[in-house]
Amino acid sequence: MTEERLFSREIHLKQRPIGMPTENDFQLVRIEVPDLKDGEFLVRNIWMSVDPYMRGRMREIKSYISPFQIGNPLEGGCVGQIIKSNNNKFTVGDYVLGNLGWREYWISDGSGSDVTRIDPNMAPIQWYLGILGLTGLTAYMGILKIAQLIDNDNSTVFVSAAAGAVGSVACQIAKIKGAHVIGSTGSHEKVKWLLDQAGIDHAFNYKEIGETNISAEIGKSYPDGIDIYFDNVGGKHLEAAIDNMKTFGKIALCGMISQYNLTSIPTGPSNLFLAISNRLKLQGFIVRDHYDMLDEFHTDMSKWIGEGKMKWRETVIEGLENAPKAFLYLFKGENIGKMLVKIGF
């Protein structure tokens, strides 16, 4: 009896977006899943991640990671379950973390570092895409290694996109370390969550006060200045932070979501000269350069979660076909915490 053929739906990049992407830049495609070779296994995706950095991969430019190719499926973090296996190290029923999201099924031989077996009894499996995954690690090493925050630190830390996936974790790690934390976000609901759940000291809605007033808002809250800025936004947020940095302050450049969809070269911070007079340290970072911190991160994060010191929010969109919509929501600020797409069960 011939085995029934398996088909997988995938989201392909249909064309390179100009400015803000639209759903027309993506295409839902149905492909036949090939037979497994020796040493390979088949994964059925359950969860996938959408992240702002993916916008950069939609451009055909030189970067730290190769661009997505038109007519091919996009990639990104995913968690799934093995349903077939010709590999004695990965068995049917295992849950794995991979980087082949934006599709229902994928095949691997388990080589390299892109596929990791995870324990579904330790935490909800989607957490490995967020607070226990690269999202959490980004916040962890950005605050502790790049910004060099230490235990019992009385520093003042400003975080932009503070209710987002990375920003919300960065805020809470800074609080755990004893810092005073101020966060910028885009709605009253997010301000309330940051104050009541994440427990930061001050939060404001930058859309309400206007981007030109961010500097004044920081100065009003912390007239003595800020020691650390964790930047997820760039633009006017970065300018405002530079305005208010203390001497020898540190700026961890994690992301610049305000500029990802611009169609012309943005003007740099008009006050960058203050970096000289105030002897500031500005450092960009990429999480993949710091995998050596993974064990330390998992130990600390698991402890903090167990102690109830970390609050975590997810915004979930159902269905692979809605993955482009979920991605676009990131640039409209329609998520609190991690934006996830649930593909299966």
pLDDT in tens, 28-47: 999 999 999 999 999 999 99
The three-state secondary structure class of 338 is strand
297 token code pair = 């991160």
Higher-pLDDT residue of 142, 61: 142
Cβ proximity of 232 and 160 under 8 Å: yes
Distance CA 182, CA 202 (A): 5
The 3-state DSSP class for residue 283 equals strand
Distance CA 177, CA 197 (A): 17
pLDDT tens readout for residues 66-91: 899 999 999 999 999 999 999 999 99
State pTM to two decimals.
0.94
**Residue 3's pLDDT band (boundaries 50, 70, 90)?**
low
Question: Which part of the chain has CATH 3.40.50.720?
Answer: 134-288
Query: Is 80 exceeded by the pLDDT of residue 112?
Result: no
**Residue 1 pLDDT more than 70?**
no
CATH architecture assigned to 134-288: 3-Layer(aba) Sandwich (3.40)
Mention every residue, 6+ apart, whose C-beta is less than 8 A from residue 18: 263
Which candidate, 327, 171, 208, 181, places its Cα nearest to that of 257? 327
| 273-311 per-position pLDDT tens digit | 999 999 999 999 999 999 999 999 999 999 999 999 999
For 93-97, 122-126, 192-196, 263-267, which range has the lowest pLDDT when averaged over its residues?
A: 263-267
Rounded (5°) CA angle 213-312-23: 70
* Other beta carbons within 10 Å of 18: 11
Where do the CATH 3.90.180.10 domains begin and end in the chain?
7-127+313-342
7-127+313-342 architecture in CATH? Answer: Alpha-Beta Complex (3.90)
CB contact at 8 A, 151 and 175: no
